[in-house]
Structure 1
Amino acid sequence: MSVRMAPRLPLIFLLMIHGDAGWGVRYSHSHICALKDSSVIMSCTYTYPTGHQIMKVFWTKTNVRKDNEEFPDLSNDTEYSQRLQYLGDKQQNCTIRLSHVTQKDEHMYYFRFITDKPDGKWLGDPGVSLTVTDDTDLQVESPERVTEGDSVRLTCKSSCTLTDRATFIWYRNSQPLTERRDTNNQLLLQSVRREDAGRYSCALHGHTYISPAVHLNVTYPPVNPVISISPSAEIMEGDSVTLICSSDSNPPPEISWFKGEMFVGSGRIYSISKISSDHSGEYKCRSRNKHGEKDSDAVTLNVMYRSRNVSVSITGSAKIVEGGSVTLICSSDSNPPALNFIWFKENQSSSVGSGQSFSALQSGRFYCEAHNQHGSQRSDAVTVTVHHGACKNAFVITAASGGGLFIIIIIIIIIIILLKM
């Protein structure tokens, strides 16, 4: 029985199989960005074929050997010996901690392990790249403008993304947001309010540096416009009056003024110089920006003025009988209404009556004065004439204010009475 032997493989091929099978180093992060003076954890695991025993493990920052010398062990380097701590073991964990890192520590780092076999050595290449940043390069990224009700996300960024578990603190208008201390670098504002507007900055917990502030501008429609009046006291005819519309909105609103439903002006301030009674009425302002509009409650301008346009009117029956009289009524335009009326007869120094109406029993020219709290005015005089008849004590009172037709009617009535006697 013959045995066929397999051909012998080349030696180089056997070494390749031996070198790769079961050997390896796996790093949790191929690149780490750390804050200056912080501690860095470089996590990794390693594998090797069965039958090997780990004799030595260490980290190095070069992947090139000189003259077949062993790679330099960082734990023997005075720059690292006091700051480097091996957290792994001699089985599969190769994690280290490097504390108080500075920009000088920015390198590639590799894990190296050596077994008890002559060819049982391995370098974990590619390794871990370390970048060290200063906290003074922190910056806040934020949208320039958001609308009330939107969600907004602010980001605290540095020159690289920190991979250690940094804790971020947020500030608004230099005051810490004590309810927000996040292990990520973002601040989320759900349904943003106008009160959220302000200058935002961030910092890293345990560090004194605070980033430059970025302004968050929250826009919203006008809310509850209010009108103030100056002077706020009683308004007299002839005064100058200013109406001011105050409205909370962002961006600032455009203001329109209305008297009733009629547009009368624009701008935050509406001024009336030498106000008159015609300006009395209800006014409101309308506040508008691109997000909406809102009307104020109406305010009333009540312009006060003294009595004016005072006049006397005559009432009574056209047929005057014995003992009859003529009633005179005094009318006045004033605000507030006149409540005090005084009657005078020309060429007499004292008054002959008071009240809005007056009964005239004798001939003469009569006028009235109307008074309110702001002043008085006198009416033109009217003439009252008493005509005495030919029979028993009968008399007729003829009242005239210059109207010829009324005199003619009175004469006709007298003639008719005489004919019946």
Structure 2
Amino acid sequence: MKADLLISLRMSLTVSLMVLLFISRVVAQDGWAVNYNSKSVCTLKGSALTMECTYTPPSNHSVQKPFWTKELVTSGSEHPDLLDDPEYRGRVQYLGDEHRDCSLRFKTVRETDQSKYYFTFITNQTGGKYQGAGGVDLSVTDLQVEVPERVIEGDNVTLTCKPICSLTVRPTFTWYRNGSSLSSSNDSLHLQPVSSDNKDRYHCGVLGQNSPEVTLNIRYGPKSISVSISPSGEIVEGSSVTLTCSSDANPPVQNYTWFKGTSSVGKGETYTMKKISSVDSGEYKCRSSNEHGEKFSEALTLNVLYPPKSVSVSISPSGEIVEGSSVTLTCSSDANPPVEYNWIKGTSSVGKGETYTMKEISSVDSGQYTCRSSNEHGEKLSEAVTLNVLYPPRNVRATSIRAPDSKSETLTCSSDANPPVQNYNWFKEGGSSPVGSGHSYMALQSGSYYCVAQNEHGSQKSAAVTVKVNPNNILVVVTGVVVGLGVVVAGAVFFYCRHVRKSKQQHLARVGDLDY
């Protein structure tokens, strides 16, 4: 009984469509014509449909093949026959003949059938291919539940069941909620004030065809805002940390804003610190907002752990370091958790603690000092600081080297001082004035000599060394010097006189030439 009723309704729908169609007639100049009873047809998906059509071939032509095509075929192209198309085979039927009727029947209309269709016939004459212009536009509709464009929490809502295009016969509607039918038989379903908790599914049915299910898209402001952190556990500097803000809102939150303390630091559902550092420690929260409101999450505290960095050493007092004074080195660093300190001179450990004090510093304390700062996450050495301990000369010593001919002795003064000795002075015992200066001194007289080394921090004299020089050797040296000087002077006079005589001769020669 129900099946018969369904068939009857579908036939009634088809007949009604056919009755209400208006005729579009296309007539060519040579007398042929194709008449489509409708330019457009709308039907439900899954229903049967007949497109009524009549045609008149040209006179003196015999129709050999009448057929329908899905698309308009341009000149020179083959006419695709629907009966040869795998998508239509077995579902379409030509109701006409080779004379007048060209009606096309769809047994079951599919959504993919929506297109424009043309009737074409081929005659026995050369070039006898004719196609009806305009064609028939087929719209395949499906039922759909129309929901108000905007549904805000607390609104009263009306759902409407309607096809995409208008049907000729007004059918009876059936409404369903979560698969169960409701008492309403109208095309509208009224719902009382709705809340965001409404997750029900609704659909409607007509003539055995059901609409897709819909759910209410209820709009509301953000709720249940929370922040999660990934990965969980300790946060070590250099790792990647992502904060994720989650909320319940519709439409989904358009704007997530991240705050550190009271300062905005980022936007988006997630906030990632790829290489987190100590400056990123603090309280974070996110603000979620859409067009219906905004809400803040609870604050989340990030405590970033990191190994020592910015390790440095300071010296107190500053300035020059003089032997015998007190000097304190202080190590400072930035780390979480706090650090332990170790002091290193060169490569040797010399102490522990934040400070290292040398109460009476000496020259042996000169050198490079570094501080090693360490915690459970790593360690770091400071840049080396150099202690340059200044002190006056000491270990001053004079030594002598006698020349092979015993004519003189060379005295040399050495010392240990910082800064190096600027002045060396030589004294002969028994005298109060220096007899020479400089690192070395050539002694030409016998006697005891000593040197005095001096820098800006003090002076020290060496022990005396005894020099023995032969007096005759001194006379010989002096005589040799005098004779040598005489020879040089005589040679100079000789060459001067020779030059003058030669110049006079050249002058007399030039005068004689002129007289001649």
Give the TM-score normalised by structure 1.
0.54
Instruction: Give, in whole Å, the separation in 2 of the partners of 1:95 and 1:263.
Output: 75
- Taking a change above 3 Å as real, the CA distance of residues 94 and 331 of structure 1, as seen in their structure-2 partners, is closer
> What is the match of residue 424 of structure 2?
341
> What is the match of residue 261 of structure 2?
173
Q: State the AA in 1 paired with 2:236.
A: T
Structure having the larger proportion of residues in helix:
2
Q: State the 1:353 CA deviation.
A: 1.6
Q: State the AA in 2 paired with 1:57.
A: H
> What is the match of residue 369 of structure 1?
452
Instruction: Give, in whole Å, the separation in 1 of the partners of 2:392 and 2:418.
Output: 7
Match of 2:417, SS state, is strand
Instruction: Give, in whole Å, the separation in 1 of the partners of 2:376 and 2:191.
Output: 66
Q: State the AA in 1 paired with 2:191.
A: F
Q: State the 1:51 CA deviation.
A: 9.3
- Taking a change above 3 Å as real, the CA distance of residues 221 and 384 of structure 1, as seen in their structure-2 partners, is same
Whether 1:310 aligns to 2:396 is yes
Q: CA contact under 8 A between 1:41 and 1:98: conserved in structure 2?
A: no
Q: CA contact under 8 A between 1:42 and 1:96: conserved in structure 2?
A: no
Instruction: Give, in whole Å, the separation in 2 of the partners of 1:276 and 1:283.
Output: 15
Q: State the 1:334 CA deviation.
A: 0.5
Q: CA contact under 8 A between 2:343 and 2:370: conserved in structure 1?
A: yes
Q: State the 1:278 CA deviation.
A: 0.2
Aligned length: 285
Q: 1:332 aligns with which of 412, 415, 424?
A: 415
> What is the match of residue 221 of structure 1?
307
Match of 1:278, SS state, is helix
Q: 2:281 aligns with which of 197, 205, 225?
A: 197
Instruction: Give, in whole Å, the separation in 1 of the partners of 2:400 and 2:450.
Output: 12
Q: State the AA in 1 paired with 2:268.
A: R
Instruction: Give, in whole Å, the separation in 1 of the partners of 2:156 and 2:392.
Output: 93
Q: State the 1:273 CA deviation.
A: 2.6
> What is the match of residue 154 of structure 1?
243
- Taking a change above 3 Å as real, the CA distance of residues 58 and 343 of structure 1, as seen in their structure-2 partners, is same
Q: CA contact under 8 A between 1:242 and 1:269: conserved in structure 2?
A: yes
Q: CA contact under 8 A between 1:224 and 1:248: conserved in structure 2?
A: yes
- Taking a change above 3 Å as real, the CA distance of residues 213 and 326 of structure 1, as seen in their structure-2 partners, is same
Instruction: Give, in whole Å, the separation in 1 of the partners of 2:309 and 2:288.
Output: 38
Give the RMSD, CA atoms, in angstroms. Answer: 4.4
Instruction: Give, in whole Å, the separation in 1 of the partners of 2:257 and 2:342.
Output: 45
Q: State the 1:241 CA deviation.
A: 2.9
Q: State the 1:49 CA deviation.
A: 4.5
Q: 1:53 aligns with which of 165, 172, 185?
A: 185
Q: State the AA in 1 paired with 2:289.
A: H
Instruction: Give, in whole Å, the separation in 2 of the partners of 1:282 and 1:223.
Output: 20
Question: Which runs of 5 or more structure 2 residues have no equivalent in the other structure?
Answer: 1-151, 160-175, 196-200, 205-212, 477-516
Q: Deviations over 1:135-193 (max 9, x none)?
A: 8xx66555563123434343557xxx735434542212321133x232xxx64544544
Whether 1:286 aligns to 2:418 is no
Task: Indicate the larger mover: 247-256 or 341-350.
Answer: 247-256
Q: State the AA in 2 paired with 1:53.
A: S
Instruction: Give, in whole Å, the separation in 1 of the partners of 2:156 and 2:327.
Output: 76
Instruction: Give, in whole Å, the separation in 2 of the partners of 1:327 and 1:358.
Output: 6
> What is the match of residue 270 of structure 1?
356
Q: CA contact under 8 A between 1:221 and 1:288: conserved in structure 2?
A: yes
- Taking a change above 3 Å as real, the CA distance of residues 90 and 53 of structure 1, as seen in their structure-2 partners, is farther
Q: State the 1:208 CA deviation.
A: 7.5
Q: State the AA in 1 paired with 2:258.
A: W
Instruction: Give, in whole Å, the separation in 1 of the partners of 2:183 and 2:235.
Output: 65
> What is the match of residue 402 of structure 1?
none
> What is the match of residue 327 of structure 2?
241
Q: CA contact under 8 A between 2:220 and 2:249: conserved in structure 1?
A: no
Q: State the 1:387 CA deviation.
A: 9.0
Q: State the 1:330 CA deviation.
A: 2.0
Equivalent runs, 1:252-263 vs 2, <5 Å: 252-263=338-349
Task: Indicate the larger mover: 89-98 or 254-263.
Answer: 89-98
Task: Indicate the larger mover: 188-197 or 251-260.
Answer: 188-197
Q: Deviations over 1:109-142 (max 9, x none)?
A: xxxxxxxxxxxxxxxxxxxxxxx97x8xx66555
Q: Deviations over 1:310-344 (max 9, x none)?
A: 22233326x985xx344433221101221311122
- Taking a change above 3 Å as real, the CA distance of residues 173 and 239 of structure 1, as seen in their structure-2 partners, is farther
- Taking a change above 3 Å as real, the CA distance of residues 361 and 175 of structure 1, as seen in their structure-2 partners, is same
> What is the match of residue 109 of structure 1?
none
- Taking a change above 3 Å as real, the CA distance of residues 174 and 363 of structure 1, as seen in their structure-2 partners, is same
Instruction: Give, in whole Å, the separation in 1 of the partners of 2:447 and 2:155.
Output: 119
Match of 1:351, SS state, is coil
Q: State the 1:367 CA deviation.
A: 2.4
Q: CA contact under 8 A between 1:174 and 1:201: conserved in structure 2?
A: no
- Taking a change above 3 Å as real, the CA distance of residues 189 and 379 of structure 1, as seen in their structure-2 partners, is closer
Higher normalized contact order (CA 8 Å, seq sep 6+, divided by chain length) = 1
Match of 1:380, SS state, is coil
Match of 1:300, SS state, is strand
Q: State the AA in 1 paired with 2:454.
A: H
Instruction: Give, in whole Å, the separation in 2 of the partners of 1:260 and 1:162.
Output: 62
> What is the match of residue 501 of structure 2?
none
Instruction: Give, in whole Å, the separation in 2 of the partners of 1:172 and 1:193.
Output: 14
Larger radius of gyration: 2
Q: Deviations over 1:25-72 (max 9, x none)?
A: xxxxxxxxxxxxx9578999726659951486333xxxxxxxxxxxxx
